[in-house]
Amino acid sequence: DGGITQSPKYLFRKEGQNVTLSCEQNLNHDAMYWYRQDPGQGLRLIYYSQIVNDFQKGDIAEGYSVSREKKESFPLTVTSAQKNPTAFYLCASSPTGTGSYEQYFGPGTRLTVT
């Protein structure tokens, strides 16, 4: 089955701790994205990557970091510098060069920091 997996589904952390969210895809997509969703605010782009070993900051990158060492994987680290990390995090991927802009989403990780 092709798709995007995110783990864990729910994550609880204490303030001041870094935490890494996993995102894996077996769709052979070049591009991958991380979004944050807060109630009433839609999805906001954190980081994106068009190709392995390359990534760019999105609109709200402060306090987050990513890596793209493999095409299939795009983990997101929420650092202690992120002031308000409690949110729902969605990972997505898309093919490039096909003429379709559709992004495919994973099931999300709900992070709660207390």
Partner 1 sequence: EDKVVQSPLSLVVHEGDTVTLNCSYEVTNFRSLLWYKQEKKAPTFLFMLTSSGIEKKSGRLSSILDKKELFSILNITATQTGDSAIYLCAVVNDSWGKFQFGAGTQVVVTP
Give the residues lining the site for partner 1 (CB under 8 A): 4, 31, 33, 35, 40-45, 48, 50, 90, 94, 96, 100-108
Q: How far is the CB of 1 from partner 1 (least distance, A)?
A: 14
Which is nearer to partner 1, 35 or 64 (by Cβ)? 35
Which is nearer to partner 1, 50 or 86 (by Cβ)? 50
Here the contacts of 18-22 (C-beta below 8 Å, separation 24 or greater) are 18/77, 18/78, 18/79, 18/80, 19/77, 19/78, 19/85, 19/111, 19/113, 20/75, 20/76, 20/77, 20/78, 21/75, 21/76, 21/77, 21/78, 21/89, 21/91, 21/109, 21/111, 22/73, 22/75
Which is nearer to partner 1, 2 or 101 (by Cβ)? 101
Q: How far is the CB of 80 from partner 1 (least distance, A)?
A: 27
Q: How far is the CB of 104 from partner 1 (least distance, A)?
A: 8
